[in-house]
Each structure stands twice: as C-alpha cells, then as structure tokens.
Structure 1
C-alpha cells in the first residue's frame, strides 16, 4: 500500500507501477487516508459499476445518520445542491427519470449535427497554432475546443464563455480525495455564480426558445414529467464539466503518450485510418478519470473481504485499464488495438451520456493536428497538475 499515494507528485506522474502492485497483492485494499476500499482489477471494477448494491448516493434510501455518515457542512450547501441534482450523483428512480428526459434533448442526431462545427473549429485552432509556430497544446487547442462545443450546444453566447472553464475547474476540485477547505470555498463560490448565470439563461430561453440544448431541456417531457429548474441547472453544469474536463485531459495526456512512443506516432501519421482505434487506446493508456467512487448500500463480499453497508469504494479506472488479465501487454501503447474494453467512460446505468460527443471531439482534434501540424513535437517536458482523480497536464508546450 505504500506505493499508492495520491498526494505524491511522483505517484501522480506515473501511478501505473503502483497499480500493478495493488493488482498483484489482492482484489480489494483498505486505504486509511481516504477511508475507502480500493478496487484495482478490471473484472471487479466492471462488475461493481453494474452492481445495484452500490450507488453514487445513499440519500434515496438512508439519512446521513442511518448510513453512519456526517452531513456535509452547511457552508458547502450550494455545491451539494448543484452536484446532488445531476444525473451523475443520483440513483433510480430520479436518475432514470432525468436521464430519460435529458436523452430526449441530447440525442445521437444532436451530436452528429455538431460534427461539421467540431471539425471546422478544430481546424481553425490548429491553424492558429501553426501560424504562431507552436504554443501550448492545452490552452491553444485541447481546452478551447470542447468548451466551445458544449457552450455552442447549450446556447451560451460567446461573450459569456470566459468564466466557464474556471467555474468547471473549481467545482471539479471537490472530486479529488480529501479536498481542502480552500478547495471547498472555491467550489461553493463557482457553484453560486454558475447557478445564477444558468438561472438567467433558462429564463431567457423560456421567453424566447432557440435551437439549443437549454431550450430542448425546457421542452423535454415524458408522460407529464419535466425537469425542475434545479435539475436543468445541474444537468447543464454536469454536461459542461464532464463534457470537457475529461476531453481536455485525454487530448494532452494522449499527445504526451504519442510523443513518448515515436514509433506509434509515426504509424498514425502514416495511416490516419487508425484514428478511431487510436482514440480508444489513448483513453485507455493514460486514463483521464483515474478513480470513481461508490457507496455500499448493501453488504458486498470481494474475495473473502466483506464490505459493510456504509463503506465507500474507490474503483480504480486507471488500474483496470492496465489489467493484463484483459489487455495484452497493457503498458504498451498500441494504436491498432482492436480488443479494447476500457472503462474510461464508466459502465452500467451511469455510463457517460456524452461519450459519443467526446469521441467526435478527440477524433477531430487528432485529425486536425495530424493533417495541419505533421511535424508537431514537444518543446520540453510538461508540468503536471497535482490532481489525481481527474488527472492531466498543466500545459504541453509544442513546436510545429
């Protein structure tokens, strides 16, 4: 267990050797610093994501006291109101109802209709990078693409988009292990500001509906069911946060992996038909979301260890995606890998609703960089963000 230290920069830079130790020494491990059971094997992670004895919340069945947990501090309430009304942190029947309604607005056709916009924007961003002779791949391409796409989908005007990424980053800080009070204060402030902005945008769209996702969420109904205003706000924030945090990190993590595997990068440059499998492999190889949590609602046994009701489980996506029981040569980057059941988009009823859009965005930026910046190279080693759960680079300087 000494190898698993999510607050150690060396571990965050390369957690995969520690995962190998965890897998070799057992199927479940108690981690005292965060009070969680770590689950490192693909088969167990995949099964537990689908196991209804576990849940993203327990509030649909128990009070905090009944579950043996302390309620969050009252000063954190704006964050929890925002977070707890989104699909990601709800269980049936509320999750089922909200996902059904959101799915009516967030359809495959909606994503397909966006594809020309995504491709054109990726091309424009890469052209600017090339014209400048290089820059920061994160701030120049990886970040602006998904932020603009989800803002375009939601109908957020360009003039209002500047705070979106800072709000998202501050809110997502609460998903790290044992966040500090300073992190919580930033998340609360961002939650209040983002909520107020979206409340105003929803009011505008009620008066004048447009061809955008906010208008579609207002209109979505099913057998008399509609989304409440708070559910709409929480859905918009979830789509923005999940819709670009993972994509940004997958892009820069992916390019850093390509730079460190020049043979694979050369193969991709020679054959762009590899892009679809390359997207899947890059998501697997250096997973942007390393850990996903579940609460034990009913006692579960793993390999003789009983996890009691009230326990918290940390499902290690990054470890599962490197499990040699599932992936041949898991520590090898193989852009042509066909058998690739990675779980970077989760599984079960909480499978990422935005996965099709993420794939479109990742493929678009990858293709644009391969075609328009064919000699892209790193300009030094990148700095890494300290975050472990949502793991990525602070920047990636490149030359063209």
Structure 2
C-alpha cells in the first residue's frame, strides 16, 4: 500500500519550538483537512479527531506492543539495539507497554495493592506535603513554581507511597526524566543512552529495596506489591520493579506538567483565575479543564496489529499510529469553544488519562494531588504575578515548561 504525499501537513513539526509552544492551530488544520494522515519523518499515521482517537484507544486491533503476537522480524520491524535491553526490560516489566493476557494479569495484581481506598487515605498526606511546599513558596515571595511546588509534590507523595527513604528521593526525578526521554519522537542517540542508564540505575535501586521489604515488610506500596498474591499468582521481581518505575514516571511527569501548564493558562486568563479564587468549589471542574486545555501528554502511540480503518482511511498491519491527545482535547465537535479556558466546563470528556484497558491507573491520585496543590496556593497567595515569560521545554510528547517564575503579592 502506498502512502499519500500530504505536503499540506508541514505545520505539524514536533521538533520546531514554535510548534511545541502552540500546536493547536496546526491541530485545527489537521482536523479540518487531513484528520488521519501519514507523517513521513516518523513513519506514523497521525490521528487528530477526538472521535477517532477515543475509538482507537479502545480498539483491540491496536496495541502498545506487538510482541504478544509476533517477533520484531515477523512484524516487519527491526529489533531494538542491544544496548537498549535494560530500558525495555524495565519498561515491559510494568503494564504500560504490554497487552493482554499479561496486561490483564498485571493490572489485576497491582490493583489489589493500589486501591481507590488507599489513594483516598493518602489525601491527608498529600494535603500536608502540598501545604508545606506552598507555605515555603509564599514565605519566599515566590520563585519557580515548577521546581519549588509542582515537582516536589508528586515525587514526595510517590516516594512516600513506595517507601523510598527520604535520603534517596533526590535520585527519583532525574531517573524519571531520563527514562521519559525515550518516549519522545525519534529520540537522539544521546537521549537513548541516558534513558538506558537511568533505567539500569533505577532498577538496581528498586531490586535492592524490594529484597529488603520482602524480608522486612513495611507499611508501603513496595511491601504490598511484594506480598500481593491472587490465587497463587504474584508479581515477579521484574514486574514489581517495572510497576514501581511506571508509578513514578507516569505518576509525576504528567502531574508536574498539568500544574505548570495549568498555572500558566490561569495567568494568561486572569478572569478565570479570579473566578476560581472567588469560588473554590469550582476546583474539580477546573482541574479537568486545565488537563484538557493544555494537555501534558500530547501524543500516545499504538501499533496496528490488524488492518484497520480509522476516519475512513485504511491503515495496514505493521505500522504505528500517533494519537494526538492535544488535538482531540481541542476538537470543536466535542468541546464548545475549545480554545477558551472555562474552569466551570461541565461537559468535558477529555482523554488526558487515556481510555480503554490502558486508562491511567493513577488518575485518582493525580486528581487528589492537583486539587490539593492548586487549592493550597489559591488560599495562601492572594496575588500571583508572572515575573517573566516562560519557555517551553523542547520535548513535544511529554510537554511542559522549563520554569514558571512568579511573585507572590
């Protein structure tokens, strides 16, 4: 099957800083003219409309991996370079990059330890950490909101959940950032090596910690995961390590960027910021709207396991589709006036947490962290002003600001 030559999609350029800073006009062009189109630089099919992205996330003919049905060679793909093996061993130990029946088994086991009740019981701890971070930030008169509030909160919460000693927690953020670089489109060789090193170091650390907790269980998630048994089945060591890495990486990268992107959106829309400050009961809908308005994960990939038709376009087995979450969340067919920030938006079926069997297991925790973080700062800071225009990181897939420097009045 030949691929069409869509020269009019040139505005989609994930390596262009201008596009990364504001991809939404390009998304509109894609939705209007080529909602399903082939992107030559990465060899992927871009899917831009909400209806198609939502359906693709639930379609079992598409998968995060193809290795449960074929080898690399059988699927017409080149095997990953040998040096990447430590990264993929860690990643495929968790549930993100596997499919049923392995995914079903892992999610069942992990869900026994990571329950909604456990998450809700964490709320007082989240509130305490958020309050301490915000109080310090306000006392200092502001600073980089991302480095001083957005990043420490989820890292601290996840570290406490897992049972990582406080003295070791400074290691987690660099490991996570290093690993997540592998998920960008066509990562550089340097980024690949950084991801491999981070995965190797992270895995070695967690293996030692898990062995300690198996011998002397504590009141933490690693101990719970090490002990969980379902009808004689339990997590292997690779699966326990992969699960913990996933909980950290997915559990804080997105939360950090929702916080940074969200405050930047509120500062650009002062009327909505004052509306929220005047009525904190709007916080739940505001959190959902901020996730929709400037989506932290702009693109999610799926392999085509069987020939499919998406948006009227036939896509063959063996290729990859790139589901544009940021575009789907700005689709006017689903969201009224999508370019407008509306913190009271009620009809808001955003897909920032995904959909289908890979729907984010940590979504309840992310919502708790975001509500407590935004709520604490809104209450403690009567006035928040931007010190300088923020700059976006060069990353497109996991999209966020380098810093957000503000002053507190």
- Give the TM-score normalised by structure 1: 0.99
Which of the numbers 95, 104, 109 marks the counterpart of 1:87? 95
Q: Deviations over 1:102-161 (max 9, x none)?
A: 000000111111100101111110110111111100010000000000000000010010
Q: Distance in 2 between matches of 1:306 and 1:261?
A: 41
**Conserved 8 A contact 1:174-1:183:** yes
What secondary structure does 2:351 align onto?
Answer: coil
Please name the residue that 2:107 is paired with: 99
Q: Distance in 2 between matches of 1:344 and 1:133?
A: 32
What secondary structure does 1:313 align onto?
Answer: strand
Please name the residue that 1:305 is paired with: 313
Q: Which runs of 5+ in 1 are unaligned?
A: none
Query: 1:85 offset after TM fit, Å?
Result: 1.7
Which of the numbers 241, 245, 269 marks the counterpart of 1:233? 241
**Conserved 8 A contact 1:249-1:391:** yes
> Is residue 2:278 matched to residue 1:278?
no
In the TM superposition, 1:291-330 aligns within 5 A as: 291-330=299-338
Query: 1:377 offset after TM fit, Å?
Result: 1.3
In the TM superposition, 1:204-353 aligns within 5 A as: 204-353=212-361
Q: Which runs of 5+ in 2 are unaligned?
A: 1-8
**Conserved 8 A contact 1:27-1:302:** no
Please name the residue that 1:156 is paired with: 164
What secondary structure does 1:214 align onto?
Answer: helix
Q: Distance in 1 between matches of 2:341 and 2:311?
A: 31
Q: Distance in 2 between matches of 1:86 and 1:77?
A: 15
Q: Distance in 2 between matches of 1:231 and 1:312?
A: 26
Please name the residue that 1:111 is paired with: 119
Which of the numbers 182, 188, 191 marks the counterpart of 2:190? 182
Runs of 4+ in 1 over 4 A off after TM superposition: none
**Conserved 8 A contact 2:298-2:325:** yes
**Conserved 8 A contact 2:52-2:311:** no
**Conserved 8 A contact 2:12-2:26:** yes
**Conserved 8 A contact 1:130-1:373:** yes
Q: Distance in 2 between matches of 1:191 and 1:26?
A: 38
Query: 1:96 offset after TM fit, Å?
Result: 0.2
Please name the residue that 1:46 is paired with: 54
Please name the residue that 2:387 is paired with: 379
Deviates more, 1:9-18 or 1:303-312: 303-312
> Is residue 2:370 matched to residue 1:355?
no
Query: 1:27 offset after TM fit, Å?
Result: 2.5
What secondary structure does 1:225 align onto?
Answer: coil
Q: Distance in 1 between matches of 2:392 and 2:299?
A: 17
Q: Deviations over 1:26-69 (max 9, x none)?
A: 23000000110000000000000000000000000001011000
**Conserved 8 A contact 2:179-2:194:** yes
Please name the residue that 1:130 is paired with: 138
Query: 1:327 offset after TM fit, Å?
Result: 0.2
In the TM superposition, 1:17-28 aligns within 5 A as: 17-28=25-36
RMSD of Structure 2 on Structure 1 (CA): 0.6
Q: Distance in 1 between matches of 2:218 and 2:306?
A: 45
Query: 1:83 offset after TM fit, Å?
Result: 1.0
Q: Distance in 2 between matches of 1:78 and 1:280?
A: 36
Query: 1:84 offset after TM fit, Å?
Result: 1.5
**Conserved 8 A contact 1:38-1:313:** yes
